[in-house]
Structure 1
C-alpha cells in the first residue's frame, strides 16, 4: 500500500497512471472533514431520494475529502487471479490568487479520525493539491493570458512580497556585474512560488536565463539578447505547464480516471460520489435528476458493495453472520465459512500484501504484518482495497449461485472468469444504497423505482385523545428508531427502521388504551388514495347504472 504526499506525487502519479492502463475496475474510499451528524437531525425515514439528495447537498458544501483511497484491480486471464495496487493519497486544496478555499472541520469527525491515528500534519503540510475540473479551466485561461501572475502578486502577504523583492534585487545586482556565460545560483524559501520567481527575475533582467536546480534554488545565466529571445519562447511554455500541473495535483489523475470509464466500486458510496463530484468536478447541481445524469456521464458504471451485499444476502438467504458493514463483511468473506456455499473463490493479491497477511481481528488490528506494513480500517487506502475485495467475493458468490441454480449442481466448483462475474452482477449496476429513507436505493441510471412504504404505521387516537409528538415518542421510541409525521390532531404516520420495530408497535397497540395502529396503506390512508378509491367506486356505480338504464330502454 503506497502512501502518496506532495513530495512523492510526481513519482507516484506515474505509477498510478501505469496501473490504470490495465485496470478492470477501481475501488475508492474517502475520509471526510465532517458529516458525522447527518443521521442525527437531518435524515428522515420519510425522505424520498430527491429530498435526501437535497439535504446532503446543502450539508456538505463546506466539507472536503482529507484522504482518498484508490485501489486499482487487474485480471490475469491465465491464472484467473486478481492483482491490486493500493494508494492512500493525502489531499490539501490548491490556493491561487483567485481562489482561497475555506476548510470546515467537524469536532466529531476530528475525534473519529484521531481515534484511527489519522495524520493531520501530513494532510496539512504535505497534502497533494487538487482543484475541480471547472477551476482547472479557469486557471488554464488565467495562466495563458497572464492574469494568474497578477492575481498571485496581489494576494501576497507583506513578508512574502518582501522576500520576492529581495530575490529579484539579488539577481539584478549580480546581472549588472556579470559577463556573458557567467552563472550563479539563488536560494529561496520554500514558501515562494518558483513559477512567479522565475518570471519576476527574468522581467527584471532582460539578458539572463533561469533554470531550476534540484536542491530548490534557481540557476541564473548571463546571455546575449538573441539567446534570451529564443529561450523565452520555449521556457515560458514549459514553466506554465509545470506550474499548472503542480497546482492541479491529484486532479490530473482524476481526469485520467474519468477518461478510463472503468467501473467504480465503493461501499455505501453516495456521500463519496457527491463529495468527489463537488471537489474534483464542480458544484453539485441543484436538480437531483441532473446530478444523476452528470454523474452517469462521468462514471458510467458504479457498484455499491453495501447495496450488493444486501441484495445477494436476500437472494441466497444467508443468516450466519453476514453483515453489510464493510469491516465485518470483509472479515466474514475472508474466512472459510462462505466457501461452503461458494467454492472456488478467486485469488486476490496486492503489490504489498500476501493474502495470508490479511487476516484481521474484529477490531481491525492485523494479526500478522509483512515489511512493516499495517492493515487498518478507516484508512482510505485500506478501506478502498476492502471494498474491491468484497466486490469480487460477492460477485463470485452471486455467480456461483446462478450457475448452481442453472445447472442444478450445488457442489461443484465453477471456473468463473472476470467476464462471468461482471455479467452476474450487472442487475445491481448503478444502484446506490440509501440509509434510513423511504427508498432503499438510488437508481443512477433511469428513473428511481417508486418507494414501497411497507414499514409505515398508521396511528390513530382513541376517544377524545389528540396527538402531540412527546406522547408518541414516550410510548414507542423504546421499540426502535422511528420518525413521526402528525397528519391531523388524531392521526399520525410512524416510519419504522426495521420490520421488528413495525411488528412490536402493531402488537402493543392491539390492547393500547390510547392508540390504534394499522399498517399504512396509501389507498386507504392518504387523501389522494381515498379520492382515487371513491372516484373508482363512483365510476363503477355510474357505469352500472348506465348499463341497467340501457337494458331497460
Structure 2
C-alpha cells in the first residue's frame, strides 16, 4: 500500500503511460484518483528547474564538518523555497490476484503556477542556467510547461481565493477613493442614471450604458451603483458598464450563477494539488530515493510554507503522509540492501 517519489526519471512497463497537461487534466483526474485509491504502491518523480548543491557539509577554519540536522534542514528550506518544480511523475502499483502480478500506472504532470480566468498568481523563483541547459539537453519542452502546465494553489492561496470570491459574491468589495479628477465623471454618470430612472419602465428595460475609458472608471461605476442604487445591477463591457433594473428573483438567480462560477474557478485553480490531497487522504506509503529535498519541495510548492524548525516539519509531513520510505536511507543503513540499491 504505498507511493514512491524520486527526482530521477524512470521507465516502467505499465498499463498506462501519459502526459497530463492543463488541457486534459480535468478529464484524466478521475483516472488518476482511481489509480491512487487502488494502489498497493505509488512512485512519483519530480523535475526541478534547479537544485542547490548538497548542504550536508560546510567549511569552518579550513576543515569540513557535518552540519547539524537543523542546519541541514534550514539550508534545504532555502533551496526548496527558491526554486520551482516543473514536472511531477506519479506511478501507482497494484496487485492483481488474477494475473498474479503487479501492474503500474505512471502519470507525468507538467505544473505551472498560473492564475485562473483572469485571477493572477505571481510567484518569484530562481533559475540556474545549468539546470535549464540540462533540461534542454534531455528534451524538456519549456513551451509545454509554460503554456500547458497545470495550475495549483496552496492551502493559504486557496483560502485567499475563496475570500476574494466571497467578497465578489456578496458584492462586498472594498470602496476605493475617488480621484479628484474623476469627481465630475462620477457626478455626470450618476445624473445620467437618475434621469434614466425617471423614464417609464417600459423604456428602461434594456438598461443604460455608461462609457468608461479605463478599468478604474469602470470600478467607480460598479461601486457607485452598488452603494447608491440597490435595485440596479451592473455588467462590465469592453468600453462601458451596463446599468439595468433587477428584481429580487433576478438577483437571487444571478447570485446562484455567480456562486457556481466561483466554485468552478476555485476547483480549476486548486488544480494539481487535488492529486497531492488524494495521496495524503489515502494514507498509503510513499517511497522515494534521497527523498528529503523532494518532500520539502512538494510541501512548500503545493501545500504550505515550510516551518522554521525541523521538528515541526516532521509533524506536519507525518500528518499528511504518515508512511514514507527513503530507499537511499535503506541502502545506507542496511548492509544487506546496499548492493541492490547501489
TM-score normalised over the length of structure 2? 0.68
Map of 1:315 onto structure 2: 336
Map of 2:18 onto structure 1: 2
Q: Determine whether 1:260 maps to 2:282.
A: yes
- Aligned-partner Cα distance in 2 for 1:148–1:41: 55
Runs of 4+ aligned residues of structure 1 deviating over 4 Å after TM superposition are 39-45, 96-99, 147-151, 176-180, 224-227
Say whether the 8 Å CA contact 2:169–2:258 is kept in structure 1. no
1:226 CA drift (Å): 6.7
Q: Secondary structure at the match of 1:204?
A: strand
Map of 2:87 onto structure 1: 67
Residues 52 and 317 of structure 1: is their aligned pair in 2 closer, same or farther, counting only changes over 3 Å? closer
Map of 1:135 onto structure 2: 157
Say whether the 8 Å CA contact 2:328–2:341 is kept in structure 1. no
Q: Determine whether 1:123 maps to 2:139.
A: no
CA offsets, 1:201-238, max 9 Å, x none?
Answer: 6x83547xxxxxxxxxxxxxxxx857633531421211
Q: Larger strand proportion, structure 1 or 2? A: 2
- Aligned-partner Cα distance in 2 for 1:317–1:140: 49
Say whether the 8 Å CA contact 1:29–1:68 is kept in structure 2. yes
Say whether the 8 Å CA contact 2:57–2:65 is kept in structure 1. no
Map of 1:110 onto structure 2: 132
Task: Report the more deviating stretch, 42-51 or 281-290.
Answer: 42-51
Structure 1: unaligned runs, 5 residues or longer: 152-175, 181-197, 208-223, 325-553
Q: Determine whether 1:23 maps to 2:43.
A: no
Among 238, 242, 263, the residue aligned to 1:204: 242
- Aligned-partner Cα distance in 1 for 2:272–2:66: 38
Q: Would you say how many aligned residue pairs link Structure 1 and Structure 2? A: 264
1:118 CA drift (Å): 0.8
Map of 1:93 onto structure 2: 113
The equivalences for 1:106-505 within 5 A come to 106-146=128-168, 200=236, 204=242, 206=244, 225=247, 228-311=250-333, 314-315=335-336, 318=339, 322-324=340-342
- Aligned-partner Cα distance in 1 for 2:65–2:91: 33
Rg larger for: 1
- Aligned-partner Cα distance in 1 for 2:235–2:126: 34
Q: Determine whether 1:13 maps to 2:32.
A: no
Taking only aligned residues, the RMSD between alpha carbons, in angstroms, comes to 3.4
Say whether the 8 Å CA contact 2:41–2:285 is kept in structure 1. yes
- Aligned-partner Cα distance in 2 for 1:291–1:26: 22
Task: Report the more deviating stretch, 115-124 or 11-20.
Answer: 11-20
Task: Report which structure shows greater RCO (CA 8 Å, sep ≥6).
Answer: 2
1:179 CA drift (Å): 9.2
Structure 2: unaligned runs, 5 residues or longer: 1-16, 175-201, 207-233
Say whether the 8 Å CA contact 1:133–1:251 is kept in structure 2. no
Say whether the 8 Å CA contact 2:331–2:337 is kept in structure 1. no
TM-score normalised over the length of structure 1? 0.43
